[in-house]
């Protein structure tokens, strides 16, 4: 098992960072790192979405690209791991399934689902939302430009994390306009995006310059 062993007799504390990660950026990594430190997590598993149904208004990059970028971004941290549960499950991705699958795979672990302020505000629209709370402790983290609400629940924790005004949308737009994403995403992810020409406008054969 990756991650760190807990003290004898204590349950493994497993953070779960779900996201589309198109691409993964330093805002995701800082949020996970801060929650891990404050909640004494043994491991944080990053779970790239398969079909993120609330992002169906835009084209999402193939899951394998998003998965591999997540592996590259987390590789240097011994407490960070990546799970394929959401990308290997056919159909739309719902957190209720993510948490059930992780509970089945890691019955020894106590789960902490990490979510940014924007996603937190959307939870009321998530599938089977009333059943989520029994499966994991939810930790809402601050994000520049969004107000963090606790949904009126005592069992949800709120945490201020270092402010990283970065979004995947902004990273994609920067690449599309030939602007740098160095230091917004990990170096290996910059290279991966360039190597696979992700987020570049598609040029048809007819548009080859003279
Ligand atoms: N800069 C950030 N600070 C804190 N939390 C963040 C930050 N960026 C994303 N998150 C949180 O990480 C999780 C996954 O986010 P996601 O992969 O959708 O990234 P995103 O930057 O919001 O993407 P997009 O711009 O494509 O919507 C969500 O819970 C989101 O709120
Ligand atoms: O369960 C749902 O209905 C649901 C709806 C939207 C988002 N989520 C989860 O929220 C996390 C962040 O999603 P996103 O779309 O902001 O990248 C990710 O783990 C998604 O699977 C979950």
**Rounded mean pLDDT of 122-134?**
95
CB-CB contact of 81 with 14 (8 Å) = no
94: helix, strand or coil: coil
CB-CB contact of 139 with 145 (8 Å) = no
Reported as a single tens digit per residue, the pLDDT across 93-115 is 999 999 999 999 999 999 999 99
Percentage of residues in the chain with pLDDT exceeding 70? 93
Residue from 25, 31, 44 to probe ligand 1 pocket by mutation (most atoms less than 8 Å from CB): 31
12: helix, strand or coil: strand
Reported as a single tens digit per residue, the pLDDT across 17-52 is 999 999 999 999 999 999 999 999 999 999 999 999
175: helix, strand or coil: helix
Q: Which long-range contacts (CB under 8 A, 24 or more apart) does 142-148 make?
A: 142/116, 142/117, 143/27, 143/31, 143/116, 143/117, 143/118, 146/116, 146/117, 146/118, 146/121, 147/117, 147/121, 148/117, 148/120
ipTM for the complex?
A: 0.99
Residue 2 has pLDDT above 70, yes or no: no
60 lines ligand 1 (CB under 6 A): no
| Cα 103 to averaged position of ligand 1 atoms, centre (Å) | 24
- Domains of the chain, start order: 13-196 (3.40.50.620)
Per-residue confidence (pLDDT) for residue 208, from 0 to 100: 47
CB-CB contact of 63 with 85 (8 Å) = no
């Amino acid at each position: 098992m990756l991650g760190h062993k807990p003290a004898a007799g204590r349950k493994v504390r497993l953070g779960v960072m779900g996201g589309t990660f198109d691409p993964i950026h330093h805002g995701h990594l800082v949020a996970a790192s801060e929650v891990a430190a404050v909640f004494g997590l043994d491991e944080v598993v990053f779970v790239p979405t398969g079909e993120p149904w609330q992002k169906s208004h835009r084209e999402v990059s193939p899951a394998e690209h998003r998965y591999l970028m997540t592996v590259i971004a987390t590789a240097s941290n011994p407490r960070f791991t990546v799970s394929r549960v959401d990308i290997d499950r056919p159909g739309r991705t719902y957190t209720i399934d993510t948490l059930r699958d992780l509970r089945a795979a890691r019955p020894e672990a106590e789960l902490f689902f990490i979510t940014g302020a924007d996603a937190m505000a959307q939870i009321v629209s998530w599938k089977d939302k009333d059943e989520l709370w029994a499966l994991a402790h939810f930790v809402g983290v601050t994000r520049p430009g969004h107000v963090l609400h606790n949904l009126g629940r005592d069992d949800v924790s709120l945490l201020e994390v270092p402010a990283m005004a970065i979004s995947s949308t902004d990273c994609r737009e920067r690449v599309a306009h030939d602007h740098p994403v160095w230091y917004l995403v990990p170096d290996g992810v910059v290279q991966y995006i360039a190597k696979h020409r992700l987020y570049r406008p598609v040029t048809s054969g007819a548009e080859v310059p003279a």
